[in-house]
Amino acid sequence: MIDRRRRVRNVPLAGARAAGLALGVLADAVLGDPHRGHPVAAFGAVASWLERRWWADRRAPGVAYAAVLVGGAVGLGALAERAAARPVPRAVVTAAATWAVLGGTSLAGEGAAMAASLSAADIDAARRRLPHLCGRDPSALDADGLARAALESVAENTADAVVAPLVWGAVAGVPGLLGHRAVNTLDAMVGHRSARYARFGWASARADDVAGVVPARVSALVTAACAPLVGGRPADAVRAWRRDAPAHPSPNAGPVEASFAGALGLRLGGRTIYPYGVQDRPVLGDGRAPVVTDLPRAVRLSRAVGLATAAFVVAVVSAWRPPAVRSAAGAAAPEAGD
């Protein structure tokens, strides 16, 4: 016997997810991040409070730390979806969560501000701004070094702050949106290879690697497709990704940064200085080293990748029907001849 009420209910809820994602992208484009009371900042404050109480130079406490915080975010998302059981409330909740976790407008704004400071030859202002984009040590970088650091950060964060939330939102709704943002935030806070976090942050870093596997490859593909918008060729982006990304120390940053390098006709990578040490990263791409004027091109590419990904996931979610709906429709067909 077919539950027709369930069949009718599942279809608009799938549409509500697509509508919510689209509205959330629009809200991020128009409003950007809230200046006060940002949910991600609130999550970070809770994570900092818990770290002060649970930190130990061992992996086990770090595993518990990541599990509690990520599990709490996913659980909150599941409760929010359950409370919003009808299509319109579900779309509103999804839109609010999407807006809260997306960082595309803020990322583009920071990249543009960095480009403006460098164009004005205000190195001190650019060094003060770099920590808004990445965790590198700005004191040892000149203008071109700051441009390269900012450009690589724009590329990596296009995947982390734009593409990945949209992919996880499409797959898992509000729990996916909040869960991914929790994982990515913990990786930024404790996932780096400093003396303090090498063991405690291990679980957070590995969780972020796993969560980013598919979104990073989606980012690389969309970047290649958008290459002509910044004067590049898709084939160059794909070649740099396939050839150079495997040597990168990050399994997910590699494909994204390499595809950006190929799309922009640049050479990224090399010596990278962090407050906790130096990494000699592999060269990505075949072109020249980046200069200040390349940063606005990278920002344009980041915006294009974000918009193209949003259009793609909204279209896919809109067209998707749950298996229960498809099977119910198929089972209902013979009734017409009874």
Could you tell me if residue 41 is inside a domain? yes
Task: Output the pLDDT for position 190.
Answer: 95
* Across 171-199, average pLDDT: 94
Residue 288, in any domain of the structure:
yes
Measured at the CA of 238, the angle between CA 237 and CA 240, to 5 degrees, comes to 65
Residue 34: predicted pLDDT: 77
Helix/strand/coil for 310: helix
273 in any annotated domain: yes
Say whether pLDDT at 154 is over 60. yes
Question: Does 316 reside within a domain?
Answer: yes
- Name the band, by pLDDT with cuts 50, 70 and 90, for residue 326: low
Q: What is the pLDDT of residue 334?
A: 47
Domain tally, the chain: 1
Tell me, what amino acid is at 132? H
Banded pLDDT at 335 (limits 50, 70, 90): very low
User: Is residue 333 a part of any domain in this protein?
Assistant: no
CA distances from 108 to 105, 132, 314 (A): 5, 12, 22
| pLDDT band for position 262 (cuts 50, 70, 90) | very high
pLDDT at 37 over 80: no
More confident residue, 232 or 325: 232
Residue 232, SS3 per DSSP? coil
- Is residue 336, in this structure, part of any structural domain at all? no
Range of the domain at 124: 4-321
Calculate mean pLDDT across residues 179-205.
94
**Burial tier of 333 (Cβ tally within 10 Å: 0-12, 13-18, 19+):** exposed
Indicate the pLDDT class of residue 2, thresholds 50, 70 and 90.
Answer: very low
Residue 227 lies in a domain: yes
Asked whether residue 327 is assigned to any structural domain, the reply reads: no
Question: Residue 320 and residue 177: Cα distance in Å, rounded?
Answer: 18
Give yes or no for a contact between 178 and 97, defined as CB atoms under 8 angstroms apart. yes
